[in-house]
Structure 1
Amino acid sequence: MEYQITEDIAQMDIDLIHQVISSSYWANSIPRETLERSMQNSLCFALLNSAEHTVGFARVITDKATFAYLADVFVLQQYRNNGLSKQLMAYIGAHPQLQGLRRQMLATRDAHGLYAQFGFEPVPNPEILMQKWQPNIYQDSDK
């Protein structure tokens, strides 16, 4: 089966993307409206199969000059172990708007081996990093 990568949000299955990301450990219960807004303000990449169905996704938050943060990466379970995550990462890594950046970051609980193949490494001095973290923001009814 052949696959292609698109940056055109109109070609992406937002329902599927929301279903996967809203059930993920990193963005559990994210409202669809919030996800859509995040996509509109990021570089998005969808992996499509030959029937043009979304089977993978990634989003890069960036200023396109100095910094990028890789987020929301997934390949559907039934399409894993076919090198598709590597294909997606290679495409993102070669993207013209992501060249010459001083720093690229991501957070992962379980895919360190994949990202290491594309130059990501543990932060040698994590004590310089700070965060403002609201892990239950999507569960709060006031949001």
Structure 2
Amino acid sequence: MRLSLHTDYALRLLMFLAVKQQQASIDEIAKAYGISRNHLMKVGQRLTELGYVTARRGRGGGLTLSHSPESINVGALVRQVESTRAFVECFDPETNQCRVTGGCGLQAALSLALGDFMVRLDKYSLADLVPVPKKFLDRLSAVSLYPVSGAINDDG
């Protein structure tokens, strides 16, 4: 299974905000990860619509988490952001053109595997994805040309 770039960026954006523990701009997050600002803007907008982040516009604006990292369930997030309807052609009855639908076991096997994948993700919170916040920020600073600073817990 491969998650879309949109879901990957959504997880990264939320992880950044979780360790930063304060407002961060799209530019700051994009530079820290070395990823597309434009794509990240779309992700930020979607996460705002879903209620995961709060956005402040204008000068001095940015994004903050709307909920504690411990209360954000990774499985629920992935279900909301990732489209699994078209995981394979036969998953979408409206566009399915597969000639063997109903005559093979692929759809059932993949449906079960996808369900198992999501159940596993349900066991994780956003906080679990960044168990050592200081190490996370240090790694971002080490690989980017843009130093990342911000509040972190004494845990890490």
> Shared fold by TM > 0.5?
no
Compute the TM-score of the two structures, normalised by the length of structure 1. Answer: 0.29
Of the two, which has the highest radius of gyration?
2
Bigger helix share: 2
Compute the TM-score of the two structures, normalised by the length of structure 2. Answer: 0.27
